[in-house]
Amino acid sequence: MSLFGFGKKDKQASGGPVGEARLGDGSQVTIAQRVDCIGDSCPRPQLMTKKALNTAQAADVIEVLVDNPSSMEAIPPMLNGLGATHLETKKGDHCWEIYIRKD
């Protein structure tokens, strides 16, 4: 029943660090927000990412979880116009983990 977001709880975590991640270059980042878009199709992951960036502070790192290939490809290019930098996209067990830093 999660088609188009019906029956879902708000899956955006914020309000303090929600975890840490090690990037491919070996650097460790603290994740300020996690946006779980597992099961969501376009354009919801892009809209949720934009919403998270609007509430983030400068230098905050946001982790976006997507399992939709078109969302994985669409999110990094849209960041230039939103004042954010794509740090890395990692393939997880069941999804892609996109790491974004607000400028």
Active site (catalytic) residues = 42
Dihedral sign from CA coordinates of 101, 60, 94, 90: positive
Residue 79 pairs in a beta bridge with: none
Contact 100, 79 (CB under 8 A): yes
Q: How far is 39 from 2, CA to CA, in rounded Å?
A: 8
Dihedral sign from CA coordinates of 9, 15, 18, 24: positive
- Which residue type does 69 have? P
